[in-house]
Structure 1
Amino acid sequence: MRMVFGLVLLVGIALAGGAVYLAKGQIGQYKSAIERAEAAKAKLVPTETVYVAERGLKYGEKLTREDVRAVDFPITAIPEGAFMEEALLFPENTQELRVILRQMEKNEVILAVKITEPGEDTGLTSRLERGMRAFTIKVDVSSGVSGFLRPGDKVDVYWTGRVNVGGKNSRSDVTKLIEAGVKLIAIDQSAGGTVSEAVIARTVTVAVDPNQVAALAQAQSTGNLSLSLVGAGDDTIASAIEVDQRSLLGIADEAVQAEAAKERVCTIRTRRGAEVLEIPIPCTN
Structure 2
Amino acid sequence: MNRRLLTILLSAFLIAAVCAFLVWRVVAARLQAVSHQSSTTRVVAAAADLKLGTLITPANLTTIEIGGPLPKGAILKPELAAGRGVVSDIYQGEPILESRLAPVGSGAGLAATIPNGMRACAVKVDEVVGVSGFATPGMRVDVLISGTPPGEQVASAATGPKVKTLLQNIQVLSAGTDIEKDAQGKPQQVQVVNLLVTPDDAEILSLATSQEKIQLVLRNPLDTKISQTPGTVVRNLFADKNPPPVKARTVSAPKPAAPVYTIEILNGATRTDQKFATPGGKQ
Same fold (TM > 0.5): yes
Secondary structure at 1:109 match in 2: coil
Does the CA-based 8 Å contact 2:84-2:108 persist in structure 1? no
Does the CA-based 8 Å contact 1:50-1:84 persist in structure 2? no
- Shift in Å, 1:234: 2.5
- Deviation by residue 1:139-193 (Cα, 9 ceiling, x = unmatched): 112354734422333221111112379x772124222111112222232369xxx
Structure 2 Cα separation of the partners of residues 98 and 215 of structure 1: 33
Structure 1 Cα separation of the partners of residues 143 and 60 of structure 2: 43
Asked whether 1:72 is paired with 2:60, we answer no
Structure 1 Cα separation of the partners of residues 68 and 148 of structure 2: 58
Does the CA-based 8 Å contact 1:143-1:227 persist in structure 2? yes
CA RMSD, aligned part only? 4.1
- Shift in Å, 1:245: 2.5
Does the CA-based 8 Å contact 1:160-1:174 persist in structure 2? yes
TM (norm. structure 2) is 0.55
Runs (5+) with no aligned partner, structure 1: 1-34, 191-199, 253-285
Aligned partner of 1:58 in structure 2 is 50
Secondary structure at 2:170 match in 1: strand
Structure 1 Cα separation of the partners of residues 109 and 44 of structure 2: 24
Secondary structure at 1:163 match in 2: coil
CA separation of 1:138/1:54 partners in 2, compared to 1, >3 Å: closer, same or farther? closer
TM (norm. structure 1) is 0.55
* 1:73-222 mapped onto 2 (5 Å cutoff): 73-75=67-69, 78=71, 82-83=73-74, 85-86=76-77, 90-91=79-80, 97-144=83-130, 146-163=132-149, 169-171=154-156, 172-188=160-176, 202-222=191-211
Amino acid in structure 1 at the alignment position of 2:145? W
CA separation of 1:64/1:49 partners in 2, compared to 1, >3 Å: closer, same or farther? same
- Shift in Å, 1:55: 2.3
Does the CA-based 8 Å contact 2:208-2:214 persist in structure 1? yes
Structure 2 Cα separation of the partners of residues 244 and 145 of structure 1: 28
Does the CA-based 8 Å contact 1:53-1:104 persist in structure 2? no
Secondary structure at 1:220 match in 2: helix
- Shift in Å, 1:211: 0.9
Structure 1 Cα separation of the partners of residues 131 and 59 of structure 2: 40
- Shift in Å, 1:66: 7.8
Aligned partner of 1:248 in structure 2 is 237
Amino acid in structure 2 at the alignment position of 1:78? P
State percent identity of aligned pairs: 22
Amino acid in structure 1 at the alignment position of 2:71? I
Structure ID, larger Rg? 2
Count of aligned residue pairs for this structure pair: 200
Runs (5+) with no aligned partner, structure 2: 1-26, 179-188, 242-283
Does the CA-based 8 Å contact 1:186-1:204 persist in structure 2? yes
Amino acid in structure 2 at the alignment position of 1:170? A
